[in-house]
Amino acid sequence: MAQGFRVTVEKRVATLTLDRPPLNVLDIGTCRALTETIHGLAGLDDVGVLVVAGHGKAFSAGVDVGEHRPATAAAMLHAFHAFCRGLLEFPRPTIARVHGAALGGGCEVVLCCDVAIAALAAKLGQPEIALGVFPPLAAVLLPRIAGRRAAAEAILWGDVWPAAEALRLGLVSEVVATDQLDARVAARAARATSMSGATLRQARKALRRGAVGPVDEALRAVEEAYLNELMRTEDASEGLQAFLEKRPPAWRHR
């Protein structure tokens, strides 16, 4: 336990659990500690997947409103965005386990994860406009994830969506009954840890690079990474050879 969150690593699954009762609101100190922790986890070869969760009755109600004021706004934004960049750039798959409310910055944390699995009773949204501000990260990510109209509804009208609507719009990947949430997250995490960590690192880099710039330029960059980085890993050779020999691969995660 440190600075309002907990971290465990078990069977190559790292779980980062926000724990600042009652709603896991993130302040500057917590965000800075989260960023340091994310960078530390990123360097561990025995971490195959990262699960981000919230303890108590909510995933997270976002960033501390008291720190949005002019004197601390810049420090707050930079600290929170550094944490979110750490999630976006994490070298392994990331899963958001969403229950209760994921609002404001809490919703943005969900958007930063590769997969979001939500309990049926969860709610997601960006209500900042009602406070006279808007969510910068959601303004970048939501149009790419959910489309311009859904992003406008969330950001300009401050809509908060039940999990089923969030699924329809693409904010979450799956919606399950609350009593099935942990099992489904565990199953997804186990699936990720069964893959090559080295290949997943390269695949995540390719996904990020492929989303930037013209298609031809992005494809050339990804081709280059495939040939000059991925194909030089031990696991790429092992996976292909195992397939040809009709046997399970023995990943070395390098």
Residue 145 and residue 150: Cα distance in Å, rounded?
A: 9
User: Can you tell me the mean pLDDT for 193-199?
Assistant: 94
Q: Which two tokens stand for residue 84?
A: 């979110």
The one catalytic residue among 128, 165, 224, 238: 128
Q: What is the pLDDT of residue 136?
A: 96
Is residue 245 among the annotated active site residues? Answer: no
User: In angstroms, rounded to a whole number, what is the distance separating the alpha carbons of residues 121 and 71?
Assistant: 37
Backbone angles phi, psi at 135, to 5 degrees: -90, 105
Tell whether the model's pLDDT for residue 2 goes beyond 80: no
pTM equals 0.93
Across the chain, mean pLDDT equals 95
Q: How far apart are CA 195 and CA 211, in angstroms?
A: 23
Interatomic CA distance for residues 203 and 114, integer angstroms:
12
Residue 250 gets which letter from DSSP? Answer: -
Which is catalytic among the residues 36, 108, 153, 234? 108
Q: Which CATH architecture has domain 5-193?
A: Alpha-Beta Complex (3.90)
Nearest to 63 by CA among 71, 54, 55, 73: 73
* pLDDT tens-digit map of 63-118: 999 998 899 999 999 999 999 999 999 999 999 999 999 999 999 999 999 999 99
Inter-CA distances, 144 with 32, 54, 147, 211, 247, Å: 27, 25, 6, 9, 39
User: How high is the pLDDT of residue 94?
Assistant: 98
Tokens at 24, concatenated: 């896991």
224 flagged as catalytic: no
In whole angstroms, give the CA distance from residue 126 to residue 142: 10
Q: How many CB atoms lie within 10 A of CB 83?
A: 25
pLDDT value of residue 247: 95
pLDDT at 128 over 70: yes
Residues 225-244 have pLDDT tens digits of: 999 999 999 999 999 999 99
Q: Where are the domains of the chain?
A: 5-193, 197-244
